[in-house]
Amino acid sequence: MNTSASASSAEKQPPVGIDLGTTYSVVAYLDATGRPTTVPNSSGDLLTPSAICCDGDDLAVGKEAVKNAALVPDLYAECFKRDMGGMAFRQKLRGCEVPPEVLSAFVLERLRNDAQQRLGPIRDVVITVPAFFDETRRKATQDAGRLAGLQVLDIINEPTAAALAYGYHRGLLQAPSQAAAGPQQVLVYDLGGGTFDVTILEIEGTRFQALATDGDVLLGGKDFDERLVHHLAERFQAAHGVDPCSDPQDAAQLWLDAQEAKHSLSERSKTTVPCFHAGIRMRIEVTRAEFEDLTRDLLERTETTSSLVVKQAGLDWSSIDRILLVGGSSRMPMVREMLRRISGKEPDCSQSPDEAVAHGAALYAGMLMQQGSSSGRPAYQLLNVSSHSLGVVGTHRQTREKLNAILIPKNSPLPCRAVRQFRTAMADQRNVCVPVVEGESHRPEDCIALGECVVRELPPGLPQGTTIEVEYCYAANGRLSVSARVPTIRQSARVEIKRDQARHLDDLETWRKRLLGLAAASGSGSQPLVGPVDLSDRASILKQLDALYTKLGRMAIRLSLPATLARSRDAAFQASAQCAQMEAQCKQTESVRQAAVSRAEAIRLDAVLSQARTTLHEAQTRADFAYMVLGRECVGAGFCPPAAQREIEEIRRLQQHLGS
């Protein structure tokens, strides 16, 4: 935990917490009274999609990126939080392999800029992560904050943050005397868009102690969406003999529609999903029972993990006082029904599952920024457990096989200390290396290497089997100190593994130019307009050509065109007008929905709004197709809009590669 933030920095900005989510992100701050409040983004929404799209000359982040997902799926990235900390899992944008830290940094930058419009300059923040994130993923999250120009005061686990928000809204933090009534055992069930966590905390006044945690960083609402997408695609293919997922644009649109359908099925017993492919339009009815049957095994995975965590905490379900639901996917009725069945308790839905984590992060930021001051705000005591085991890679004496010897088991209370003795592998050994790994497996190759501690320049002549004493000290802030000693000669070495030892990444502006095709930057107009293209991939070239034709059509529609292009221009005008009309209707429906008073009316309007959004997506697709046709015919007719010379040159370059 970095507590060096000065009082002056606390005066310049309010405490800010950021829930950097897989599918949606949220920013919250503490107002003058110490109350956590969500900060709307520049569009007025409380949630910002964690999505990026490189469309034209813009790098769109959030809702605007999602709107383009179906139009330019190869220029769109989402769910990159799942890849955090990995080297092999990188999403491609415009032919560039982009680390997930960079993509996350663009989201954080957008969140920061939006929040600054309302709160003034922001630098110091607390960012949340799933409790089951390992050290590599936590480091990557801190790197993303640094790239976005933020000073990350600390990383806090999402379930712990949600429990903090619960404690605040229940008045436990304002009235610590209630602790006399005894501690509460609270289970936080956090099912987000891409990750799943279960944590049991003991709350007593301002003391929050984690007892056990477990989860899955590759399980979330996106996996439930995927099951529905596959089901819809199979239904369409059975009826028409073609797979809508074979076309990237149609597949992207089907994903969006499946997400809307999942949301509708949380309120209704059935819904209808549009599916369009190869000129065929089909509406497919899906019931809640069908959806639950499709995803039953996913829900069972969360059930198994939840029951396991209760056992790991040394409790049974009767000992759990409250079950908090966190994460947008926890809204699914089958989640509540499952938890009722296995616990015999009614889950607590009193908090917004989307905002609770950010609110807790803001409360924690307030504590960090006010340490050493007399603000009167409560100081919380957060006691965590290790989410993964920590061990040493050694060699088995008989088999000579490499093994992970676990020193600090998973779910050990922090801070903790462990000491274990090993022996040198050979006579006259001059150096001793202690490889530090994180993971539950006894096979080192299945674990994550965190670093190593080396005792160098041992005296000559040490016999084989000389005792080496290894000590792990795991601090409450997640920092691990490793020391190795040779007691017989009083020689030792020590190393500290920190989250703030970031790997080198280019700055965000360099990545922005690279993704927008401006890295060659001189304004000469010689750089490709569509970024790097895999010229060995015909499909990639065709997609880039379509994007350029569409851009050219948008430019040409405003000009006086030759008579030979009049028909295509009129079609583009008509499609554009219909799109504008649908957009106006959608905004009007959104306004009416926000003003709805009764729950029944809100549910009805949700369905109307879902249909309006579907119609708008279809209209946008038709308009872009009309623009593309117009752009292609402009090139065929030799007509070049005055400002489109670079686009024409790029089209010819790509056409030349196609011809060769």
For residues 623 and 597, which has the higher predicted lDDT (pLDDT)? Answer: 623
**Rounded Cα–Cα distance for residues 335 and 324 (Å):** 12
pLDDT at 400 over 70: yes
Helix, strand or coil, per DSSP, at residue 76: strand
Distance, first Cα to last Cα, the chain: 59
Question: Distance between alpha carbon 551 and the CA centroid of its chain, in Å?
Answer: 31
For 348, the token pair is 């607590």
Tell me whether the omega of the peptide bond preceding residue 415 falls within 30 degrees of 0, making it cis: yes
- Give CA–CA dist 189/323, Å, rounded: 7
Looking at the whole model, is its pTM more than 0.85? no
Calculate mean pLDDT across residues 373-398: 76
According to the model, what pLDDT value does residue 533 have? 45
User: How far out from the chain centre does Cα 345 lie?
Assistant: 30
pLDDT at 562: 78
Among 417, 437, 187, 464, CA closest to 302: 187
Across all residues in the chain, what is the average pLDDT? Answer: 82
Question: Confidence class of residue 520 from pLDDT cuts 50, 70 and 90?
Answer: very low
**Range 424-429, long-range pairs (CB < 8 A, 24+ positions):** 424/462, 424/464, 424/465, 424/466, 424/468, 425/395, 425/464, 426/464, 427/462, 427/463, 427/464, 428/460, 428/461, 428/462, 429/458, 429/462, 429/464, 429/466
For 117-136, how does the pLDDT look when each residue is reduced to its tens digit (9 = 90+)?
999 999 999 999 998 887 78
Tokens of 50: 């964690």
In this prediction, residues 350-378 reach a mean pLDDT of 82
- Strand arrangement of the beta sheet that strand 322-326 belongs to: 322-326, 184-191, 196-204, 207-216, 381-383
Residue 436 main-chain phi, psi, to 5 deg: -100, 125
CA distance 399 to 301: 36
State mean pLDDT over 250-266: 92
Q: Is the pLDDT of residue 372 over 90?
A: no
Q: Residue 373: what pLDDT?
A: 55
What pLDDT sits at residue 532?
46
- What does the pLDDT read at residue 323? 95
216-235 average pLDDT score: 92
Residue 9 confidence (pLDDT) above 60: no
Residue 233 CA neighbour count, 13 Å, CB half: 18
CA–chain centroid gap for 607, Å, is: 27
Residue 596 has pLDDT above 50, yes or no: yes
pLDDT above 90 as % of the chain: 35
Instruction: Check residue 330 and give its pLDDT.
Output: 94
- In this prediction, residue 433 carries a pLDDT of 85
> Could you give the CA distance from residue 651 to residue 606 in angstroms, rounded to a whole number?
43
Q: How far apart are CA 66 and CA 616, in angstroms?
A: 13
Look at residue 105 in the predicted model and tell me its pLDDT. 95
Percent of the chain with pLDDT over 70: 84
Looking at residue 305, its pLDDT comes to: 93
Degrees to nearest 5, angle at CA 611 with 607 and 613? 115
In angstroms, how far is CA 122 from the centroid of its own chain? 21
pLDDT given for residue 498 in this prediction: 63
Residue 527 pLDDT class (50, 70, 90 cuts): very low
User: Which pLDDT belongs to residue 3?
Assistant: 43
Provide mean pLDDT across the span 564-577: 81
Q: What pLDDT, in 10s, does the model give residues 138-149?
A: 888 999 999 999
Check: CB of residue 227 under 8 Å from CB of residue 290: no
Q: Which amino acid is at 204?
A: E
Highest mean pLDDT among 67-71, 104-108, 158-162, 200-204: 104-108
| Distance in angstroms (rounded) separating the CA atoms of residues 469 and 129 | 34
More confident residue, 81 or 605: 81
Average pLDDT estimate for 20-43: 93
Residues 6+ apart with CB under 8 A from 548: 529, 530, 631, 647, 650, 651, 654
Tell me what the mean pLDDT of segment 147-159 comes to: 91
CA within 13 Å, CB half, 205: 12
Tokens read off for 317: 């379900």
Residue 321 has pLDDT above 70, yes or no: yes
pLDDT at 200 over 70: yes
pLDDT recorded at residue 2:
47
Give the pLDDT score at 179: 47
pLDDT for 475 equals 81
The residue-averaged pLDDT of 501-517 equals 74
Please, which residues have CB within 8 angstroms of residue 594's CB and are 6 or more apart in sequence? none
